[in-house]
A and B are shown apart, each in its own frame.
Chain A
């Protein structure tokens, strides 16, 4: 053991020792989780893998809001270096507001859209002013 450790912890190998060790521990723990689940399934008489009735997402989840927020997030990050922080934020914070306030069967309400626009404009420029102008923090 001592010899093996000496070899592993030589300066040229040292960086690999802990990742291998922790990786091995993770694999062992994963195996234990799988075995525990198998034993529980056997005890309860349920199949180990059962896709019937399985839902990763909540039943009847809001697809538009969930996937919409992921897509908007990606587009927001892509647009940040192009439009710069304040203008990209005005556009995307407005879209996030509209998306999150959307009601089933009723896409837009004028009042709600107006509030979204005010929040987007005031929020984006407010945050820009606070962090960039007052706190001197680098923004995209």
Chain B
């Protein structure tokens, strides 16, 4: 247990640093530290990774409040009110309100995770290959529906990911596909998840920062945390409905696959504004805006784990990376997970409690010290991150240099995708789900004597089709409107 808490502490502290440095994200933190989990069994590894996840999401509030630059996309609304508060000499109060709201958001989403996941998984156990295929199709529709208002690009990226996942040998007939002769040995089992996700989320980001000249956070002057008006828990008086609503909105957005933290933060912020008694104060340093943004983005953490642990479908890019940790330990996440690994499930819940408490302790009390993290130069961080990435890629299959080349290749792919506006999160989720999509389709079709009508005969299947139709309808409507989320400024 001591090792677990130690790793959770390490993960949370490092996650806060990643979150606080603009340009580095929670996803990147989890991806870079995944190789460290080779040395541990699953439970300690999860303490480390969940610490990185919670810390990474929370750390973004520090630069958002102090320098008006969100450390992570999920803190996009934090600066709207946090920065004006800091400008009028209330930075310490703003930071502490944000940290406390983050803590509540994380804990509320954890409660939802604990109560929603087991019944969902129990229901999913009854699914045959037909429903499993349709659930994956549904996940891909949701990704599309919420892809920055650009449905077609989101679906295209998702299916490209699926196509890439098919490279290599099909275990059902041991025949290779889409592999050039000279790479037959290297690509027999296809592209590996770890080099792909580290490349997409860490190396691509490094190239992007290099393009900008590594200037993102070169603060010349010091960062000061002022405490003219002290924080008090009375700041939350009259805000509990806001905390609950924003946390639940964040959790719900997390449950929907492929939705980023920035969407959760923006939607919670706009809802708080519409319910506010003083909407004119929002954006001018109103604590309620800060509370909405921070409780919703931490609400995302528990929410994104719901589809992962009940259906095997990642809720966001970071939980897609967490799948890597389960795969490394040879454990399949999905409907059977909770039933077969009840101890691990309980440990995940405990780990989230520990990480949220640690996040609060690490950030709340030494806030003046922690705030100096925004001065860390990314130019000094990236070379060391690269080192970790190389280790992660090389160790995937215990020493295959081809995987290191894949790391570079997917770094360039991620960089180009960002340039041409193709979202990388649906691409990664498509890659992860592609193999299962094929397997369940073949199983379902063969089991029904090759009759495609089998997908429309069972009642659960019809419900899933109805959900697919609703989300497709929504995405077409949203696309025609030009992307409501995009108009609101959603960036991931």
Interface of A with B (CB < 8 Å)?
1-3, 5-6, 9, 11-12, 14-19, 22-23, 25-26, 29-30, 32-33, 36, 56-58, 61-62, 65-66, 68-70, 73-74, 76-77, 80-81, 85, 89, 93, 96-97, 100-101, 115, 119-120, 123-124, 127, 131, 134-140
Contacts and interface: CB of A to CB of B under 8 A. Distances in A.
Contact of A77 (B212, B401, B437): B401
B177 A5 contact: no
A4 B411 CA distance: 40
9 cross-chain pairs, A with B, having the tightest CB-CB distances, nearest first: A135-B39, A62-B213, A100-B379, A96-B383, A15-B170, A15-B175, A65-B210, A29-B156, A138-B399
Contacts of B457: none
Among A9, A100, A127, chain B packs the most CB atoms within 10 A around the CB of: A100
Nearest to B377: A101
A9 B384 contact: no
5 contacts: A2-B451, A22-B162, A101-B380, A138-B398, A140-B394
B384 A93 contact: yes
A22 B405 CA distance: 26
B236 interface: no
B191 interface: no
Contacts of A57: 211, 419
Given A62-B211, A66-B211, A123-B387, A5 B445 contact: yes
B450 A33 contact: no
Contact of A61 (B173, B176, B211, B452): B211
A69 B206 contact: yes
Nearest to B170: A15
Contacts of A80: 390, 394, 401, 404
Contact of B210 (A26, A66, A76): A66
A30 B391 contact: no
A77 B172 CA distance: 35
Given A61-B211, A135-B39, 12 more contacts: A14-B175, A15-B169, A25-B159, A26-B163, A56-B419, A69-B207, A77-B408, A97-B380, A100-B382, A131-B36, A136-B39, A140-B394
Contacts, number: 168
Given A58-B211, A96-B382, A16 B177 contact: yes
Contact of B445 (A9, A12, A70): A9
Contact of A127 (B178, B207, B387, B438): B387
A40 to B, nearest CB: 10
A25 B152 CA distance: 11
Interface string B390-409: 11001100110100110010
Nearest to B165: A22
B39 A93 contact: no
Contacts of A123: 383-384, 387
A61 B240 CA distance: 46
A36 B173 contact: no
Given A1-B452, A2-B449, A5-B445, A19 B166 contact: yes
B282 to A, nearest CB: 32
Nearest to A14: B173
Contacts of A96: 382-383, 386
Nearest to A95: B383
Contacts of A138: 394-395, 398-399
B152 A29 contact: yes
- State which size class the interface on B falls in: 35 or more
Contacts of A115: 380
A120 B383 contact: yes
A11 B173 contact: yes
A132 B234 CA distance: 51
Given A77-B401, A131-B35, A5 B452 contact: yes
Given A65-B211, A69-B210, A135-B39, A22 B391 contact: no
A74 to B, nearest CB: 7
Contacts of B152: 29, 32-33, 36
Interface in B328-358: none
Nearest to A77: B404
A100 B211 contact: no
Contacts of B212: 58, 61-62
A127 B399 CA distance: 16
Contacts of A69: 206-207, 210
B420 to A, nearest CB: 9
Contact of A100 (B383, B411, B437): B383
A64 to B, nearest CB: 9
A73 B293 CA distance: 38
Interface string B146-164: 0000001101100110110
B186 to A, nearest CB: 14
B394 A134 contact: no
